Amino acid sequence: MRLVPALSMALAALMLASLTVGAANVDLRGIFRDPQAMLVLLESRLPRTLAVTLTGAALSVAGVLIQVLVRNRFVGPDTSGTAEGAALGLLAITILAPTSALWLRMGAAALGAMATTALFVTVIRRLPPREVMLVPIAGLVLSGVLGAVVTFIGWQTDLMQYVGAWLYSGEFSGVIAGRYELLWIAGLAAGLAWLAADRFVILALGQQVATGLGLSTAAVMRLGLLVVSVVTAMVVTTVGMIPFVGLVVPNLVSRIMGDNLRASLPVVALAGALLVLACDLIGRLAIHPYELPAGLILGVLGAGLFLWLLHKRPSHG
Partner 1 sequence: MIQIEGVSHHIGTAQILRDISTSLPEGRLTALIGPNGAGKSTLLRLIGRLEPLQAGRITVDEHDVARCPTGCLARVMAILGQQTAIASRLRLSELVGFGRWPHHQGRPSADDHARVAEALDAFALTPLAGRFLDEVSGGQAQRAHIAMAFAQDTPWLLLDEPLNNLDMSHARALMVRLRGLVADGGRSVAMVVHEINYAAAWADHVVAMKDGRIFATGAPAEVLTEEVLSALYDASIRVGQHHGRPLVLHHA
Cα(130)–Cα(233) distance, integer angstroms:
31
Question: Measured from the CB of residue 28, what is the shortest distance to partner 1 in angstroms?
Answer: 41
Smaller CB distance to partner 1: residue 73 or 105?
73
How many residues bind partner 1 (CB under 8 A)? The answer is 28
Smaller CB distance to partner 1: residue 203 or 239?
203
Helices (H), the chain: 3-20, 35-40, 46-70, 82-96, 102-125, 134-156, 160-163, 182-195, 197-204, 207-212, 217-238, 245-257, 261-286, 294-312
Show contacts with partner 1 in window 120-179 (CB under 8 A). Answer: 129
Whether residue 289 has a cis bond before it, omega within 30° of 0: yes
Q: Are 243 and 112 in contact (CB under 8 A)?
A: no
Q: Are 276 and 294 in contact (CB under 8 A)?
A: yes
Cα(232)–Cα(234) distance, integer angstroms:
5
Question: Measured from the CB of residue 210, what is the shortest distance to partner 1 in angstroms?
Answer: 9
What's the half-sphere exposure (Cβ side, CA atoms, 13 Å) at 274? 20
Question: Measured from the CB of residue 223, what is the shortest distance to partner 1 in angstroms?
Answer: 14
Show contacts with partner 1 in window 287-316 (CB under 8 A). Answer: 316
Cα(69)–Cα(60) distance, integer angstroms:
14
Question: Measured from the CB of residue 208, what is the shortest distance to partner 1 in angstroms?
Answer: 4
Question: Measured from the CB of residue 224, what is the shortest distance to partner 1 in angstroms?
Answer: 15
Smaller CB distance to partner 1: residue 48 or 71?
71
Smaller CB distance to partner 1: residue 1 or 97?
1
Q: Does 181 bind partner 1 (CB under 8 A)?
A: no
Smaller CB distance to partner 1: residue 62 or 203?
203
Q: Are 242 and 276 in contact (CB under 8 A)?
A: yes
Q: What are phi and psi of 274, to 5 degrees?
A: -60, -45
Show contacts with partner 1 in window 198-227 (CB under 8 A). Answer: 198-199, 201-202, 204-209, 211-216
Which range in 49-57, 108-116, 178-186, 256-264 contacts partner 1 by CB under 8 A? 256-264
Question: Measured from the CB of residue 275, what is the shortest distance to partner 1 in angstroms?
Answer: 20
Greatest alpha-carbon pair distance for the chain in Å reads 65
Q: Are 53 and 273 in contact (CB under 8 A)?
A: yes
Q: What are phi and psi of 157, to 5 degrees?
A: -105, 10
Question: Measured from the CB of residue 276, what is the shortest distance to partner 1 in angstroms?
Answer: 24
Smaller CB distance to partner 1: residue 23 or 219?
219
Cα(50)–Cα(55) distance, integer angstroms:
8
Smaller CB distance to partner 1: residue 52 or 135?
135
Show contacts with partner 1 in window 46-75 (CB under 8 A). Answer: 71-73
- Which residues of the chain form contacts with partner 1 (CB under 8 A)? 71-73, 129, 198-199, 201-202, 204-209, 211-216, 254-255, 258-260, 262, 316-317
